[in-house]
Amino acid sequence: MRVLTFLASRFVAGDTIGDAIRAVASLNREGIKATLDNLGEDSLTREQAVAAAEENLLMLRRLAEAKVDANISLKLTQLGLAIDEGLARENLTRIFQEAAKLKIFVRVDMESSAWTQKTLDLFYSLKPSFPDIGIVLQSCLRRTESDVKDAVARGVRVRLCKGAYREPAELAFADKAEVNANYDACAALLTQAPLPAFATHDDVRIAAALKACDAAGLVKSDYEIQMLYGLRPRRWRELKEQGHTVRVYVPYGTHWMPYFYRRIRERKENLMFVLRNLFE
């Protein structure tokens, strides 16, 4: 418990929106952009899902008031997808409407493979009405190359990550080398999509993505490198100094315990990676 509390104090911006916005403003002063996320998944009741939607709406308004350079990320199970798809659609639509009014980009995050298709279906059903939205895809899944090709064809903004969930072998690559190879292949495909975001702390993956962007004729403002709050800040700054657009994912909220516990439980290398970077 003490270890998790210590980790949370470094890798979560705080309990409140105000804490998170102060962290975003600090990043902005260094020329680094941010993505804000209110921690919490798997709402179990309608009331919890509606409260999560209200928190995201408040987040959008507070970001607009603060005039900081940040967008938001959200998970559909937090908005009620596991309870009622209609409820999740209603909550997501309200958030998209507010974001469009305030001109703030929203990205729908990806969860475990149990929710991949439902997340994509809901996302694509709303995309024609809300053009300025994006999705996350995970290179650990065998299906992702096909999903990336579909996203490119549809002109969707994609955040590519490796994925932090323990998945069935028939759905996901078990070998780390295969996950990395799929990441690189998908990153190369995403150079044909608008403003691709390469989310990784792996220097080899970053180098491969940058090489693919160069080969595709992209300039540094045509893509983003994304990392997690509290992890490898010196690397953020190096990339920013090299002229790359760097965006840091900033989580906040009181639900940090399940956030850390689930990731550590599912992949022990997640904890080892964090521990290796504590003293950077």
Task: Tell me which residues are annotated as active site.
Answer: 109, 159
Tell whether pTM > 0.85.
yes
Q: Tell me the CATH number of domain 2-276, given options 3.30.420.60, 3.20.20.220, 3.30.70.580, 3.60.20.10.
A: 3.20.20.220
Domain ranges of the chain: 2-276
Q: What is the chain's pLDDT, residue by residue, as a tens digit (280 residues)?
A: 555 556 666 788 888 999 999 999 999 999 999 999 999 778 999 999 999 999 999 999 999 999 999 999 999 999 999 999 999 999 999 999 999 999 999 999 999 999 999 999 999 999 999 999 999 999 999 999 999 999 999 999 999 999 978 899 999 998 999 999 999 999 999 999 999 999 999 999 999 999 999 999 999 999 999 999 988 899 999 999 999 999 999 999 887 666 666 555 545 555 555 556 555 5
Category of 42 on φ-ψ map: left (φ > 0), alpha (ψ -120 to 50) or beta:
left
